[in-house]
Each structure stands twice: as structure tokens, then as C-alpha cells.
Amino acid sequence: MGPSGVGKTTILKLITGQEKPASGEIRVFGENIQKLNRNKLYHLRRRIGVLFQSGALLTDLNVFDNVALPLRHNTKLNERAVRDLVEMKLEAVGLLGATSLYPRELSGGMARRVSLARTLILDPELIMYDEPFVGQDPITMAVLVKLMDTVSKSLPITSIAISHDVEEILSIADYGYLLSQGKAVDSGTPEKLTQQGSEYAKQFLKGIEDGPVPFHFPNETPLKQRLLSG
């Protein structure tokens, strides 16, 4: 968690090898990501599911084909097996009846749930959520929170979520990190962060406008000094 522009999405891109660190190294499943060749990187990515902030559904494919795409691209399963797996995942997110719809026919919440079904279709070991609640109404947000919690508790999977929606994400998180200016400035269980966290944690979690993250952007010449100097 952390303010906009602090580097949360960048961390996800580093984990998947879309970007390389300026220093240090990124290890996923014991592998040094930046040292993997193209084929090994692609193979490792099959073990990771990403729920993109935009949903990233392909507009010319219907719901069924969007969810089936990773299976068809990465496996040699026959269409019968593909159909069974796709229908199982869509049933899990409550959208089995929407298989023939196209992304333009879906609400924002439905599109996010279809994206979640596609994210889970290869049974990843790690799933990453990039702002899963952004732009969602309260009911849809509650549905997504429940789905994420169910996935985390019912599957042998590790989940990483980045979010501005403090209350929702802390209700299902086991551990949280607060980022500021490129650093992890606080971390701990949700209980620790909310009850014993740093001043930064208090400011961010309670939405206080001024504190460790100042209201005023640094300015070498204060306005009062400018006015007095003419």
C-alpha cells in the first residue's frame, strides 16, 4: 500500500520481468529474474497470474474465449478439457451464464471477475492483483473482496495485492507493507499496522492530509518570501 506514484505497480513489473532493477536482484521461485533467458522467463511466468487494473480483456473475444486463451496458448489440452476448465472457473466467479458475452457487454465488475477467472485458469502458484477495486461500486467491491479471500484460503497459492482501498485490503491480508519514496517505511500484520504503526502508517491508513507525507511540495522559496521580495 502507498500513495499514487510510489512504485507499487513497478514492483509487480519487476517480479514478472517486465522491468529490470537498477541495482540488486529480484528472485521469484528461487530464480534470479533478470538473468533468465526469454524461454525460461516465459516458462516462469506461466506460474504467475496477474489481475490487471484495467482487466485487459481482449475486445474481439467473448468471455469464454478470453478465459480459454491461456489454456489454448500454453497447453495441448483438447477442446473438451478446455471447455470443462473454463466453465469451472467461470462458475467459481459467478459468471457461467455470461460465456457468450463480449467485453463491451459487461459491467466493470463483471469484466473484473472474468479477468479473475482467466488469471486462475492455469492454476498459478502466485497471483498478483493490481488495484483490484479501482472504479468499482460498493457491491462489486464486496464481491471481489470475497472472491480474493476465497482464492487465498482455498488454493495453495500466494497472493500479492496493491491497493489504495485500505479497509478492504486489510480485511483479507495476512501481512502488509507501506511504501513511501521508494522504500518500505512500515510493515506488519493488519492489526499491528492499524494499532501500533508508525506516524506514516497512521497518516496513510486514516487519510490524514498532512504529516510525514507533507501537504506542500518542497519549495526553496516560500510564497511569503516571494511576495515580500516583490
Note the pLDDT tens digit of each residue in 82-103: 999 999 999 988 899 999 999 9
Contacts 24+ apart (CB under 8 A), 188-194: 194/170
Distance CA 36, CA 68 (A): 27
The average pLDDT across 45-51 equals 91
Helix axes 63-74, 79-92, angle to 10 degrees: 130
Instruction: Inform me whether the pLDDT recorded for 61 exceeds 90.
Output: yes
pLDDT of residue 226: 61
d(CA 159, CA 176): 12
The model's confidence at residue 59, banded by pLDDT at 50, 70 and 90, is very high
Using DSSP's 3-state secondary structure scheme, residue 108 falls into helix
| Residue 227 grid cell | 511576495
Q: Which domains does the chain have, with CATH numbers?
A: 8-189 (3.40.50.300)
Residue 64: pLDDT band (50, 70, 90) is very high
For residue 205, the model assigns a pLDDT of: 73
- Judge contact between 99 and 62, C-beta under 8 A: yes
> What is residue 223's predicted lDDT score, i.e. its pLDDT?
61
Which comes out higher in pLDDT, residue 203 or 19? 19
Q: What is the pLDDT of residues 117-172, one digit of tens each?
A: 999 999 999 999 988 887 778 888 888 888 888 888 888 889 999 887 888 888 88
pLDDT category, 37, cuts 50, 70, 90? very high
| 81 pLDDT more than 90 | yes
Q: With 60 as the cut, is the pLDDT of residue 217 above it?
A: no
> pLDDT band at 222, cuts 50/70/90?
low
Identify the pLDDT of residue 159: 92
Q: Which contacts qualify for 131-139: CB closer than 8 Å, 24 or more apart?
A: 131/9, 131/53, 131/162, 131/163, 131/164, 132/51, 132/53, 132/161, 132/163, 133/163, 133/165, 133/168, 133/169, 134/53, 134/164, 135/108, 136/108, 136/109, 136/112, 137/109, 139/109
Task: Calculate the average pLDDT of the chain.
Answer: 85
Supply the pTM of this predicted model: 0.79
Q: Where are the alpha helices (DSSP H) in the chain?
A: 8-15, 38-45, 63-74, 79-92, 108-120, 138-154, 166-172, 190-196, 199-206, 223-228
% helix, strand, coil for the chain, step of 5: 45, 15, 40
Q: What is the pLDDT of residue 114?
A: 93
Q: What is the pLDDT of residues 166-205, one digit of tens each?
A: 888 888 889 998 888 778 888 889 888 888 777 777 777 7
Mean per-residue pLDDT, 63-81: 93
